[in-house]
Chains A and B, each alone.
Chain A
Amino acid sequence: MDTSSPSAFVNGALLGRLAGRKVRTVVQVIGSEIGSVVGKTTDDVQIFVRGSSPAPLTTYVEVIGIAESDNSIRAETWTNFGNTFDPQNFNELCKLANGEFKHLFM
Chain B
Amino acid sequence: MIIVLLICSEFEFRNSGYRLGFLAIDSLFNANDGKMKIKAMLPATLTSVITSGKIQNLGLIRLLDYTANDIPGKSEEKYLIVTKCEAVAPALDSVIKAEIKASNGIMLKSKQDFVAKSASQIINEQRGNAAPAARMAMTRRVHPLVSLNPYQGSWTIKVRVTNKGVMRTYKNARGEGCVFNVELTDEEGTQIQATMFNSAAKKFYDTFQMGKVYYISRGSLKLANKQFKTVQNDYEMTLNDNSEVEEARNEEAFVPETKFNFVPIDGLGAYVNQKELIDVIGVVQSVSPTMSIRRRNDNEMIPKRDITLADETKKTVVVSLWNDLATGLGQELLDMADKHPVIAIKSLKVGDFQGVSLSTISRSNVVINPDSPEATKLKSWYDSEGKETSMSAIGSGMSSSANNGSRSMYSDRVCLSHITSNPSLGDEKPVFFSTRAYISFIKPDQTMWYRACKTCNKKVTEAMDSGYWCEGCQKKDEECSLRYIMAVKVSDSTGEAWFSAFNDEAEKIVGCTADGLNELKSEEGEVNEFQTKLKEATWSSHLFRVSVSQQEYNSEKRQRVTVKGVSPIDFAAETRLLLQDISKNKTSH
Residues of A within 8 A of B579 (CB): 89, 92
B53 touches A13 (CB 8 A): yes
- State whether A84 touches B53 (Cβ < 8 A): no
Chain A nearest CB from B526 CB (Å) reads 35
- Extra 5 A-B pairs, beta carbons < 8 Å, given A14-B53, A95-B52, A100-B15: A14-B52, A17-B53, A88-B576, A89-B576, A95-B48
Find chain B residues with CB under 8 A from A14 CB.
52-53
- Binary flags per residue of A45-86, CB closer than 8 Å to B gives 1, else 0: 000000000000000000000000000000000000000111
Contact partner, B54, options A13, A92, A95, Cβ 8 Å: A13
The answer to whether A95 and B53 touch across the interface, beta carbons within 8 angstroms, is no
Contacts of B582 in A (CB 8 A): 96
Q: How distant is the Cα of A44 from the Cα of B53 in the complex, in angstroms?
A: 16
Q: Is the beta-carbon distance between A99 and B51 smaller than 8 angstroms?
A: yes
Interface check B274, CB cutoff 8 A: no
Are B52 and A86 touching (Cβ within 8 A)?
Answer: no
Q: Which residues of B contact A95 (CB under 8 A)?
A: 48, 51-52
CA–CA, A88 and B578, complex, Å: 13
Q: Give A2 to B54 CA distance when docked, in angstroms.
A: 31
CB distance from A69 to the nearest CB of B (A): 14
Is B299 close to A, CB under 8 A? no
CA distance A90 to B582 in the complex (A): 14
In the complex, which of the residues B52, B576, B586 contacts A13, with contact meaning CB atoms closer than 8 Å?
B52
Is the CB of A98 closer than 8 A to any CB of chain B? yes
- Determine the residue in chain B with the shortest Cβ distance to A12: B52
Which of B51, B314, B572 is the one whose CB lies under 8 Å from A89? Answer: B572
A sample of 29 cross-chain residue pairs with beta-carbon separation below 8 angstroms, ordered by A number, consists of A13-B48, A13-B52, A13-B53, A13-B54, A14-B52, A14-B53, A16-B53, A17-B53, A84-B313, A84-B314, A84-B572, A85-B572, A86-B572, A86-B575, A86-B576, A88-B576, A89-B572, A89-B575, A89-B576, A89-B579, A92-B579, A95-B48, A95-B51, A95-B52, A96-B582, A98-B51, A99-B51, A100-B15, A100-B586
Least distance between B16 CB and chain A CB atoms (Å): 9
What CA separation (Å) do A13 and B49 show in the bound complex?
A: 9
Task: Give the distance to chain B from A52, nearest Cβ to Cβ, in Å.
Answer: 27
A99 contacts across to B, CB distance below 8 A: 51
A15 to chain B minimum Cβ distance, whole angstroms, is 10
**Which residues of chain A are near B575, meaning CB under 8 Å?**
86, 89
Encoded as 1 (CB less than 8 Å from any A CB) or 0, chain B from 574 to 585 comes to 011001001000
Question: For B15, what are the chain A residues with a Cβ–Cβ distance below 8 Å?
Answer: 100
B390 to chain A, nearest CB (A): 13
**Can you name the residue of chain A whose Cβ is closest to the Cβ of B579?**
A92
Closest to A85 in B: B572
- Tell me the minimal C-beta distance from A85 to chain B in angstroms: 8
> Considering only CB atoms and an 8 Å cut-off, how many residues of chain B contact the other chain?
14
Q: Which of B388-436 contact A (CB under 8 A)?
A: none
Which residue of chain B lies nearest to A95 when distances are taken between CB atoms in the complex? B51
Q: With both chains docked as a complex, state the minimum distance between the C-beta of A23 and any C-beta of chain B, in angstroms.
A: 14
Give CA–CA (A100, B54) in the complex, Å. 16
Of chain A, the residue at the smallest CB distance from B56 is A17
Q: Which residues of chain B are near A17, meaning CB under 8 Å?
A: 53
List residues of chain A with CB within 8 A of the CB of B572: 84-86, 89
Complex Cα distance, B572 from A96, in Å, reads 17
The residue in B15, B572, B576 that gathers the most chain A C-beta atoms within 10 A of its C-beta is B572
- Tell me the residues in window 6-38 of chain A with beta carbons closer than 8 Å to chain B beta carbons: 13-14, 16-17
Residues on the A chain within 8 Å of B48, using CB: 13, 95
The CA of A88 and the CA of B267, in the complex, are separated in Å by 11
- Shortest distance between the CB of B381 and any CB in chain A (Å): 11
Q: Which residues of B contact A98 (CB under 8 A)?
A: 51
Q: What separation, in Å, do the CA atoms of A89 and B576 have in the docked complex?
A: 6
- Complex-state Cα separation, A16 to B90, whole angstroms: 12
Which residues of chain B in 535-589 are interfacial with respect to chain A, using CB atoms and an 8 Å cutoff?
Answer: 572, 575-576, 579, 582, 586
Smallest Cβ distance from B310 to chain A, in angstroms? 14
How far is A16 from B15 in the complex, measured between Cα atoms in Å?
A: 24
Contacts of A100 in B (CB 8 A): 15, 586
**Distance A14 CA – B575 CA, assembled complex (angstroms):** 21
CB distance from A96 to the nearest CB of B (A): 7
Task: Compute how far the CA of A88 lies from the CA of B582 in the bound complex, rounded to whole angstroms.
Answer: 15
Contact with A along B37-66 (1 / 0, CB 8 A): 000000000001001111000000000000
CA distance A98 to B50 in the complex (A): 12
Which chain A residues border B313 with CB–CB below 8 Å? 84
- Determine the residue in chain B with the shortest Cβ distance to A96: B582
Contacts of B576 on A, CB cut-off 8 Å? 86, 88-89
Give Cα distance in the complex from A95 to B583, angstroms.
12
Q: How far is the CB of B569 from chain A (nearest CB, A)?
A: 14
Q: Cβ of A84: which chain B residues have Cβ within 8 Å of it?
A: 313-314, 572
Chain A contacts for B51, CB-based, 8 A:
95, 98-99
Name the CB-closest residue of B to A98: B51
Docked pose: A98 CA to B313 CA in angstroms: 28
Q: Which residue of B lies closest to A18 (CB)?
A: B53
Distance A7 CA – B575 CA, assembled complex (angstroms): 21
A59, chain B: closest CB distance, angstroms: 10
Shortest CB–CB separation between residue A36 and chain B, in angstroms?
24
Encode contact with A along B148-167: 1 for CB under 8 Å, 0 otherwise: 00000000000000000000
Per-position 1/0 for A91-104, Cβ under 8 A of B: 01001101110000
Q: How far is the CA of A96 from the CA of B585 in the complex (A)?
A: 13
CA of A13 to CA of B50, assembled, Å = 10
CA distance A56 to B352 in the complex (A): 40
Q: Give complex CA distance A16, B48 in Å.
A: 15
B180 to chain A, nearest CB (A): 37
Contact string, B13-29, partner A, CB cutoff 8 A, digits 1/0? Answer: 00100000000000000
- Chain A min CB distance to B237 (Å): 30
Residues on A with beta carbons closer than 8 Å to the beta carbon of B54: 13
Complex CA gap A14/B51 in Å reads: 9
Nearest A-chain residue to B51, judged by Cβ = A99
- Closest chain B CB from A102 CB (angstroms): 10
Which residues of A have CB within 8 Å of B314?
Answer: 84
In residues 430-485 of chain B, which contact A (Cβ within 8 Å)? Answer: none
**Residues in chain B near residue A88, CB distance under 8 A:** 576
